[in-house]
Every structure is written in C-alpha cells, then in structure tokens.
Amino acid sequence: MEFRSSLKRYYVLRGILEHLVKVTDLVNLDSYPIQDIQSPTAQALVTKCRQDLDKNALCTLENFVSPETLMVMKTEIDDLLPSAYRAEHERTPYSWRYNLDFPDGHPRRALHWNRYGYLLYDQFNKMALISQLFEWPPLTEFVRQVLGFETLYRTADPYLSIVANIMQTGDELAWHFDTNDGVVSLMLQPADEGGHFEYAPYIRDEVDENYGGIQKLFEGSSSLADQPAIEAGTFVLFKGRRSCHRVTPIGQTTHPRVNILYSFDERPGMVFSQASQMEKTQPKSGANVGLTSRT
C-alpha cells in the first residue's frame, strides 16, 4: 500500500511537472533564442554553429535545455526502461551497404561491438517532453539554418525518428557512419566513467572513402580522432555521414549514459531504408553486417 501510494504521488507530480514545463520553456532561450530565429542574437548563433560544423564537423551547445527539462526527460526514459530494446552484436561501419566484394580485414568488413539498450520513436508518448522538443517547429528551423539546407523536415520514420541510446557499464557503440546528415542529439546523462563520443571529422568526402584513414582510426593511430566533452544538457549537431564515430566502452557508473537522437531530413516524409530499420527493430536479424545481395 505504502509503495502504491508513493508511486501514485510520483505520477501525479510527474504529470504536473510535464504540464508546467511548456514547450517554449524546454530550451534555454536566454542563451539560445531560437524561437525568434531572425533576431541578431539567434543569427549570430547560427553563424557560430555553421563555422564550428565547417571546421570540426560538430557543434556543441551547452545547457541547451533547463535542469527541470533534463529531470523530466530522464524520468520519461526511466519509465520506459523495461521495454527498451537491447543490441548485442558486431556490426560493420557500412551496414547499409553490400560489403562482401571486399576482402576480410578491409574496413568495409571490419566488425566492432554494439552493446547497448535503446528506445525508439513509437515508444514515446506524444506528450512526453522528449517528443515535444522534437515536434517544436523552431528547433527544425534552427537546425535547417545551421545545416544550410533549403528545406528540413522531421523524418517520418515510425521507429528511427527518435532514438534514445541507453548504455550501462560494459556497453559500447561500434564505429559507424550515419546514413543522413540531419541527426542531432541531446545528452541527458553522461556515464561516470568512459562512454565518450569519439569521432574523426570529415574522414571521408563525397568521392574519396579514405579506407586507409579509416583503417588507422580502427587501429587507434588516426590523428583525426577526437573525444569532445559532452555534458548533460548539451545539444550536438554533427556531420555523421562523413565522420566515422563510436561511443567508447562505459566504465563504472552509478547510472546509465542516456543520449537522445533526433533525425531530420531535407525531404518531407523521409523514412529510413528497411535495412536501417531492421538493424534497430530486429537487432538479432544480422542486418548489422551489411546487405546480403548487391541490389
């Protein structure tokens, strides 16, 4: 009884908090006035982010959301933890491609461990602040201006539009490229030890895959490899389609590392390929080692 009544009190308080935090209060608008995107401060912010992205393939905005928002978002994750997916498989960095034309030992067939939990878009309630921030139009417009795209839309993927990575001690995320450029993330909670986001900015370009450079990265001898500090509440824009990246193993930690990824795209109604969807919705399907036929 005691337990049930305190649980009830908790849910009532949660409901009140979720309603108290209005969508316009989610973002720290004093520092990041993106609701008024044409204002000189917002335009200066866009310019600064674009410069960071051009130079480093990454732009970090610290304290992007308030501590209250972070707290509520973390409880939203906690509530869904029992239904989180779990991946325990090796994957290639190029899992959306056919890689079997390449010899063993080639980066196209390199295998690294994916060990992590995650939640997908359809698991989040529309009222959850995690969903509300994604749906908030000024966020899309801000990201559009920073990426310099003519148009930008929230992806319409029923599973991958929002992904929350939840990583415990011993978990890690394999080296990979993203398949689109519109992925942004919000760090809810880093691990106490390890679990660093590591990446090689612009290691490949549109024509040169730079497999030699990628091999060095996997061997730990790439001068490009970097681990930027990413604190709780930091919003990250990142060129993941050209920059190979991973999350290093999580060390001892009293709480999971939780990072939310939102996906945008230049085309309206974009859904990810069936292979990308399967990699997440059926983590045991083998979709993580690449396509099994050329077409």
Ligand X SMILES: O=C(O)CCC(=O)C(=O)O
Which positions touch ligand X (CB under 6 A)? 163, 165, 173, 178, 197, 245, 247, 259, 261
Q: Which residue is nearest to Fe ion (CB)?
A: 178
In the complex, least distance from residue 125 CB atom to ligand X, rounded to whole angstroms:
22
What does 260 interact with, of Fe ion, ligand X, none (CB < 5 to 8 A by kind)?
none
What does 197 interact with, of ligand X, Fe ion, none (CB < 5 to 8 A by kind)?
ligand X
In the complex, least distance from residue 245 CB atom to Fe ion, rounded to whole angstroms:
6
DSSP string, 85-142: EEEEEEE-TTTTSB-TTSPTTSGGG--EEEEEEEEEGGGS-TTSHHHHHHH-HHHHHH
Phi and psi at 261, nearest 5°, equal -115, 130
What is the contact mask toward Fe ion in residues 204 to 243, using x (rule: CB under 5 A)? ------------------------------------x---
CB 245 within 8 A of CB 175: yes
Angstrom distance (rounded) from CA 43 to CA 51: 12
Angstrom distance (rounded) from CA 81 to CA 201: 32
In angstroms, what CA-CA distances link 15 with 21, 79, 120, 127? 10, 13, 22, 10
Cβ closest to ligand X, residue 157 vs residue 178 = 178
How would you label 239-250 residue by residue, b for 16+ Cβ within 10 Å and e otherwise?
bbebbbbbbebb
Among 178, 181, 265, 279, binds Fe ion (CB under 5 A): 178
What does 201 interact with, of Fe ion, ligand X, none (CB < 5 to 8 A by kind)?
none
Cβ closest to ligand X, residue 34 vs residue 258 = 258
In the complex, least distance from residue 247 CB atom to Fe ion, rounded to whole angstroms:
9
In the complex, least distance from residue 182 CB atom to ligand X, rounded to whole angstroms:
12
Question: Residue 12 carries which side chain, given as an amino acid letter?
Answer: V
Binding residues for Fe ion, per CB under 5 A? Answer: 178, 240
